[in-house]
A and B are shown apart, each in its own frame.
Chain A
């Protein structure tokens, strides 16, 4: 379980352009379930996801992941935590341009000191699973939005993380590809992973795969 306790994030604190992105948010995210955080653009969803995913430290508040406080970890341990526990799927896919699909999939494995054989075995398994085998050597620039999103998901899964964080995963997809994405998410739940999704896409937040839903506005949680 992930516990978020009174977390706030203030950008440019004490400056003229101070911005409260997340304001005193507390919530609990159950394990092996799909949690969606919805809200309009600028409501603080992405910042909250970044804090939960240890990509950014909160200005105040604490976060516990399976009982371990991550807000107090040093940068070195945060990297380790991200590497071992979190898989990120970004809104704009964030694939490294001009690299092949396979090379993009290798990226999280590179610092681990595995051999090429291990890289390839893991990568091909995921490509197969996500129907991307034929694109292994394709340049990422040439992929369609749906294909790029599936590559991004494959990359998030390559280290076999227990938690998948997806920020507006359907923002750059049409409805057909969004449905495909939901199918992939369904498969991930079967693998007992915890999914945390930020989205303001009704296809996502109204889907039957969602177990828990939080609404955000102006950096705060809104309760219906």
Chain B
């Protein structure tokens, strides 16, 4: 056992000497490799974090939203629709909602205006998300000016700056009283943006949705699960786009890997042949080259993963955000909440480190089974 450990320690030592003696070549491989891991990890961390945020948001969302549709477009829904909904069995709670967007022309950003279902702020007061506070450089007790549709201005006092658990959808929120909302947006008294429904028996959601569509033909019903599916496909599609771009980088990396490991150069061939001539076994040379790969790939993995973490969660995913994100609600600055699970790490490891080590083992094995004299010629 002691001999086995010593043998591996000696082989690791030699692997490190070997990496050092080919500094230039190995540094190049290391940098390209680390960059690839950084890119792949960034995308995976970004999309995994987005999905988590979406799920967190939807955890407390209504089971169903009813929207009025006119000419295929979302329109304001009249209070009379509530009566029809009250007649449908299985719905435990019906809550008309008020929300919309407010464009701030000076900063060219959109904020989401929301009237909460419970506990509204007092008239003249608002709660704002931390992203809004940051971008407007405002804090509690400051006043925020709004321009009404009638072009008159309205000053509302910031009562609270709220740090939400998730920031994807809540960072740009301005929460206000119903009267202030109607004042700013010009929305009529008996109209709402949509209606939120809560269902007791979750198995009945689809059935109830069907009933609603049959009884009110000019509405659309959005269920929580369909929103989740939309998020999933949206993030997956966008991440696929980035993956496509990254795959080009991976191909470049593959070429380097192929050059390094499959079409092993004369120097490497000589080395393997010499080691075998000096009494090394095939397994010794394979273990040696595996250790070399493990050293490079582990370092690259650690640095790549950590750089990706810093990029996504500390530097706000500057490289990917414009590609993966991109709808108006998200114009304000927001920070993603770190969300790295074991599967994300295993996936990154599996698509970056394992192929690299595998390449090295296969190519060295091919060379090691050659007679030393032939390898050295």
Contact = CB atoms under 8 A, between A and B. Distances in A.
Given A55-B373, A94-B274, A113-B3, A79 B11 contact: no
| Interface-central residue, A75, A96, A155, by most chain B CB under 10 Å | A96
Nearest to B22: A98
A61 B311 CA distance: 66
Interface residues of B, number: 32
Nearest to A53: B277
Contacts of A57: 371
Given A97-B21, A155-B278, A112 B371 contact: no
Main secondary structure of the interface of B (DSSP, over half): helix
Contact of B277 (A55, A97, A106): A55
Interface in B261-320: 270-271, 274-282, 284
Interface string A76-114: 100110111010100000101111000100111111111
B6 A55 contact: no
B237 interface: no
B372 interface: yes
Nearest to B279: A83
A94 B324 CA distance: 54
B3 A56 contact: no
A99 B21 contact: yes
B371 A107 contact: no
Interface string A107-132: 11111111100000000000000000
Contact of A82 (B3, B7, B277, B369): B277
A110 B7 CA distance: 7
B22 to A, nearest CB: 8
A110 B276 contact: no
A172 to B, nearest CB: 16
Contacts of A86: 279
Contacts of B248: none
A47 B21 CA distance: 31
A84 B281 CA distance: 12
B7 A113 contact: yes
A111 B7 contact: yes
B243 to A, nearest CB: 39
A4 to B, nearest CB: 16
B10 A98 contact: no
B274 A111 contact: no
B10 A56 contact: no
Nearest to A119: B10
Given A55-B277, A79-B276, A82-B279, A112 B7 contact: yes
Given A50-B373, A56-B373, A107 B275 contact: yes
Nearest to B23: A98
Interface in B56-98: none
B4 A56 contact: no
Contact of B284 (A53, A103, A111): A111
A55 B371 CA distance: 6
Given A56-B372, A76-B282, A79-B281, A96 B274 contact: yes
Nearest to A76: B281
A88 B277 contact: yes
Given A79-B281, A113-B5, 13 more contacts: A55-B276, A57-B371, A75-B282, A80-B279, A80-B281, A97-B21, A98-B22, A99-B17, A108-B279, A110-B14, A111-B10, A111-B11, A112-B3
The 4 A-B residue pairs whose C-beta atoms are closest, nearest first, are A83-B279, A113-B3, A98-B21, A113-B7
